[in-house]
Chain A
Amino acid sequence: AQTVTQSQPEMSVQEAETVTLSCTYDTSESDYYLFWYKQPPSRQMILVIRQEAYKQQNATENRFSVNFQKAAKSFSLKISDSQLGDAAMYFCAYPNGSGNTGKLIFGQGTTLQVKP
């Protein structure tokens, strides 16, 4: 069964510093994609970044980047130049089942605190 594991329940970072959130997953599929979602106190989940498994290059979106290690089944999120607005819960997610599915398997989440 596919599983997603986030081993850091809480992390904190100083404003303007860099922080890395970890995620590992388990799958037998070869072609898939992975997401990082952010859930601020407003509760609305927002997509931060997406990685296609077939792509060698790590995805980057402004201050957010991933370190995707397919063989190790690791998918970490790096936040550079952290801002107060980055404080939120972050979830790693994997679409369960191949192809066109709306079912996401989420990790347990990491609560990120940003200190001024």
Chain B
Amino acid sequence: KAGVTQTPRYLIKTRGQQVTLSCSPISGHRSVSWYQQTPGQGLQFLFEYFSETQRNKGNFPGRFSGRQFSNSRSEMNVSTLELGDSALYLCASREQGIRAEAFFGQGTRLTVV
């Protein structure tokens, strides 16, 4: 099985722009979660989608949004980018079920200038 695929791997954007990141989960995985990783704040949960519905949401402003498609692929959007949004964004997919392991992609490195 192919692993979790995140595209693009690297992005450079200007303050005020918006950006869309993509995540393709492992085949058969219907849960997709997104995390932001920064040196200062560590790994923080953004949101989780399951069967096209947002199931959990972290403590991030409304500029951060996401969606999931019927094939379980997910996108994350950040509008009106700020310098502080520079981070590694990680996506994880998992099977349905209690205690299911999360499998992570290699992340998208976003730099806001």
Contacts and interface: CB of A to CB of B under 8 A. Distances in A.
Interface of A: 33, 35, 37, 42-47, 50, 52, 91, 95-97, 99-109
B88 A43 contact: yes
A101 B48 contact: yes
Nearest to A46: B104
B1 interface: no
B33 A102 contact: yes
Most buried by A among B96, B98, B106: B98
Contact of A44 (B43, B96, B99, B104): B104
Contacts of A102: 31-33, 48, 50, 55-56, 92, 94, 102
Contacts of B50: 102
A74 B5 CA distance: 33
Nearest to B97: A100
Interface residues of B, number: 29
A103 B88 contact: no
A100 B96 contact: yes
5 tightest A-B contacts by CB?
A: A45-B104, A106-B43, A102-B33, A102-B48, A102-B31
Interface in B22-41: 31-33, 35
A97 B56 contact: yes
Nearest to B94: A102
A100 B105 CA distance: 21
Given A43-B88, A43-B107, A102-B33, A91 B43 contact: yes
A5 B97 CA distance: 26
Interface in B52-105: 55-56, 58, 88, 90, 92, 94, 96-105
